[in-house]
């Protein structure tokens, strides 16, 4: 799966890491739905860390179609309320 972190770049994420990302995405959605800003921030930060540590960064000159676009690190909770709904960023 190709994942783009908005404003930072793309990563090739293997299937086992994608499954872990989906779990974190679901946690982020649940936190947003519950109005739990600290819980959202924790899950979102873990998502970013997992993408960077578990994925392979693609060279900036290599443009691939992104399967998932993750919001930038500085997303506000209010912005997250628009993105982290339903199935979240990563469909189940």
pLDDT in tens, 16-61: 999 999 999 999 999 999 999 999 999 999 999 999 999 999 998 9
pLDDT at 92 over 80: no
pLDDT at 77 over 80: yes
- Which bin fits 11, alpha (ψ -120 to 50), beta or left (φ > 0)? beta
pLDDT of residue 65: 94
Residue for token digits 């979240």? 88
Dist CA 36 CA 17 (whole Å)? 25
What percent of the chain is predicted at pLDDT more than 70? 100
Q: Nearest 5°: phi and psi at 2? A: -95, 120
pLDDT of residue 82: 92
Residue 24 is inside which H or E element, if any? Answer: helix 15-34
Cβ atoms of residues 46 and 24 within 8 Å: yes
pLDDT of residue 19: 95
């Amino acid at each position: 799966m190709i994942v783009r972190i908005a404003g930072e770049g793309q990563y090739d994420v293997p299937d086992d890491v994608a499954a872990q990302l989906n779990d974190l995405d679901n946690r982020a959605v649940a936190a947003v739905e519950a109005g739990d800003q600290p819980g959202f921030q924790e899950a979102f930060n873990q998502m970013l860390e997992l993408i960077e540590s578990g994925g392979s960064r693609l060279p900036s000159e290599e443009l691939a179609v992104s399967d998932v676009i993750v919001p930038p690190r500085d997303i506000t909770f209010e912005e997250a309320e628009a993105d982290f709904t339903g199935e979240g960023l990563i469909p189940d």
